Structures are given as structure tokens and as C-alpha cells.
Amino acid sequence: MIDMSELTESVKGYIEGLQDVLQRKYQISEDKALNMITSSYIMDSLIDYPEETLHDDIEAHADNIYEDQVSKTERLLLEAGYEGTIFFTNPSYEDAFLGISSDDRAIYDYEKMVESLVNHEDMTEDEAREFIDYNATFYIEGGPIILYRLEE
């Protein structure tokens, strides 16, 4: 963790600017914004190359930090106002995310979840199905819905 007291006033000001943009543009809390900043690439740049970095566009850095740290699914949910929705994170099954149910639950396509594991996690189809059936079909109130398509 970065010791903020060791940073120059200019660097602290830049961090506050980033924090403000993240809060304003992406409607995230002050703590989450600061956490995203301090765990991002920008901290190394600010410490190693402060003069160069301080002249960079704050908005562009804020966008990059957000894009790097927030999954596509989470971005879609947050931007649509579904902040408390439970969704898969590890693995993310981003290719299988379909949308939101009428009771604000994330919906995923089972076959695309299998495909995602085969393509991104180097599993066989059978391994992927077993993994999903064992790990992803948990019963948490408000948890994701897995859609099993019926075909003739």
C-alpha cells in the first residue's frame, strides 16, 4: 500500500483529481475510487516519473484505470444502474453474460459459459460442464441465473 504522506502535494492533487473524475463519471464511492487508483499502474508512474505524469490528461488516466479494473459485465451493470447485482467474477464468463432478469439478477447462457471455459481456461467441454455444474450453480438469494436453452 502506498503511504500517501510521502507523496508531494502535486501528486496528491493529481490523485484527488483522478478520484473526483472516477466518482463523478462512474458514480463510484470515494473509497472505491481511491482503492482503484492506488492499486493501478498510475501510482508507479506518479512515483517514478511525477513531472511527466502530472502533465497527462486526468480524464484519460481515470478512464484507463476504470477500464483496467472493472470487468465488462460490471461496467454494463453499473452504467445501467444495477450496482448491487451479483455476477460471476472468477471466472467472469463475460462472453456468456446475457442481461438482467425482472428481479435484477444477472443472466448467463450455459452453453456460452462452457465455451468461455474451453476458450479462456483451457478446459475440455466435459471439464467445463463439470466445473460449472459444481461451482456455478450455487443457491444464493439474488445470485446469477443460468439459462439452459431448449432446442428441438
Regions of the chain short of the pLDDT cut 70: 1-2, 138
Phi first, then psi, for residue 29 (nearest 5°) are: -70, 160
- CB 18, CB 37: distance < 8 Å: yes
pLDDT score, position 1: 55
- Alpha helices in 80-136, H assignment, sequence order: 110-120, 125-135
Residue 114 has a pLDDT of 97
